[in-house]
Structure 1
Amino acid sequence: MIISPEHQAWITSTRGEDVRLRLFCFPYAGGGVAHYRRWFEQLPTSIDVCPIHLPGREQRIGEAAFTSMGELVTTLVEVLLPYLHEPFAFFGHSMGGLIAYALTRRLEAESLPLPRHLCISALKAPHLLSNREPIHDLPEAEFLRSVYRLGGTPLAVLQNQELLDLILPTLRADFTLYETYTPFNDLPLPCPIAVYGGAQDTLVSLVDLEGWRQHTSAEFLVRHLSGDHFYIHSAQIQLLRFLEHDLRAVLA
């Protein structure tokens, strides 16, 4: 497999020859993929955890983040093309789930291989996304208050002007990408969908998660875990147990 130098910054892949499935993982708005690196120790070696490094965060902090979902998935198709001939799955949390879904739709539109499993975390079904008021174009103070209420960004970070100057452009870009995306195809996908969510999540209800059922003609399941919108951190062990079980079922 030959990966072009300009695409190497996008993907971390470390597993050996016993890999049976690559799990591409996408971050939530304003977040990076550091927490996905801990998954290497928890999931079996047959599953290659491949975090996707988006511009505007971590080692790519100096690059401009995408504000258009269409432009992002166009680039991601190019980046992932060398991997698509082998079994793979997608996992995305919140905005990352929307990226995973939009990317799957683009692969479908281009008649490219689809993920063996589409794993969506803490995200409303696509047809329910427009129910929330957008915040990406609010004045800075109002935008930051809204981001803090959503959780995931510590108050200490939002009160540190030096850090804020560093992350604010990416935060606003991420919310622009998320809030301006419009699904272009409501027909059910032919790949299985597994949806995960926190039972105490006040942003995405259990009904919102169940709404994903109409977006697949294949197998569908919902997993409820203890925690709020960012249960992905507090209930990580429980999530990975579910994820391993669900991915093993696909491989079987």
Structure 2
Amino acid sequence: MTWLRDWSHSEHVAVRVLCLPGAGTAAHTFRRWSQLLSADIGVLAVELPGRGSRMGEPAVHSMEEILRPLSEEVAALTDRPLVIFGHSMGATVGAELCRALGRERGFTPDLMIAAACEAPRLTPRKDYARWLTEEGVRDFLRYMGGTPPELLADEDYMRMLVPALRADLTVLATRPPAEDRPLGCPVRVYLGRSDSGVRPDRAAHWRAESNGDFATYTFASGHFFVQDNVTEVLARLSADVADLLGAVATPTPAHRPEYRPRQR
């Protein structure tokens, strides 16, 4: 695998959670989750070029450059229930990945969880183009919060972070693919109570992406509540996964031949 990092306890999991990190961050953000969740829940994360273990590769600057190779690798995960979990930019990419899987593979993930992100097709769209200069990247970090002032003043750190973060902001500033059908699966929205960068009324428009099964949950802290309140977030995620497994009927052989629910 090039785009995916798999930290599952074994190949014989009941469900997989595919995690997509926020702008400028890497797959290792989610590595600890496999230790904190049930062994029946497989945990994988997306590693974009230009960060983490792919630091030496050129970053990509468009949604299409992400979706083509990523959807090809994710297609190998469709033999059992699949949850897409995206934080911030990761939720936007996750939604487009769901669409790409439906369009190209005829597969719909079983659940989409969007954390700290407004609905992706909502208009007017957030203006990410204003943050594409080097100083704009610093302004973006200040706007989102969570970056200590000493790191913002650390030129070595910023020299490492700016190219990847600017590439991610360019992806967000670019118009998404024209195909705009809803995701067609249950959707859960996780929000930080003090996240000034995500308006709850705009996040509520994720409902239109769902199949009608929709809910929103709010957590203490700001934009990075996923890291700040990992225990509470994973408790909610575990409950959502348990509901999903309870609702999943016996899978059709064409799509999930290996899935067998474990006794709990």
Rounded to whole Å, the distance in 2 between the matches of 1:153 and 1:207 is: 26
Match of 1:32 among 17, 26, 29: 26
Aligned to 2:16: 22
CA change 1:84–1:173 in 2 (3 A) is same
* Count of residues in correspondence between the two structures: 246
Contact 1:21 1:89 in 2 (8 A): yes
For residues 119-138 of structure 1, give each alpha carbon's deviation from its aligned partner in whole angstroms, at most 9, with x where no partner exists.
Answer: 11111012336442324664
- Mean Cα displacement is larger for which, 149-158 or 68-77? 149-158
Q: How big is the shift at 1:170?
A: 0.5
Match of 1:110 in 2: 104
Percent sequence identity is 31
Map Cα deviations across residues 25-53 of structure 1 (whole Å, 9 max, x no partner): 01100111223111112211110011111
| TM-score, normalised by the number of residues in structure 2 | 0.86
Work out whether residues 135 and 143 of structure 1, in 8 Å CA contact, stay in contact via their aligned partners in 2. Answer: no
**Aligned runs of 1:149-160 on 2, under 5 Å?**
149-160=143-154
**Is the Cα contact below 8 Å between 1:77 and 1:107 reproduced in 2?**
yes
Structure 1 position 147 matched with structure 2 position 152: no
The answer (yes or no) to whether the contact 1:18–1:45 under 8 Å persists in 2 is: no
Task: Determine the C-alpha separation between the residues in 1 that align with 2:217 and 2:160.
Answer: 35
Alignment of 1:42 with 2:36, yes or no, is yes
Contact 2:27-2:46 at 8 Å conserved across structures? yes
Which residue is equivalent to 2:238?
Answer: 244
Shift of 1:97: 0.4
Deviation of 1:141 after TM superposition, in Å, equals 2.2
Q: C-alpha separation between the residues in 2 aligned to 1:40 and 1:121? A: 18
What CA distance in whole angstroms lies between the structure 1 residues aligned with 2:217 and 2:49? 30
Could you tell me which runs of 5 or more consecutive residues in structure 2 were left unpaired when the two chains were aligned.
247-264
> What is the aligned partner in structure 2 of residue 199 from structure 1?
193
1:63 shift after superposition: 1.1
Q: 1:129 to 1:121 in 2, by over 3 A?
A: farther
1:188 and 1:145, CA in 2 relative to 1: closer, same or farther beyond 3 A? closer
Change (3 A) 1:33 1:114: same
Give 1:163's aligned residue.
Answer: 157
Deviates more, 1:221-230 or 1:175-184: 175-184
Alignment partner, residue 100 of structure 1:
94
Structure 1 pair 131–190 and aligned structure 2 pair: CA distance change class (3 A): closer
Alpha carbon RMSD of aligned pairs, Å? 1.9
What is aligned with 1:87? 81
TM-score, length basis structure 1: 0.90
Whole-Å separation in 1 of the counterparts to 2:177 and 2:147: 27
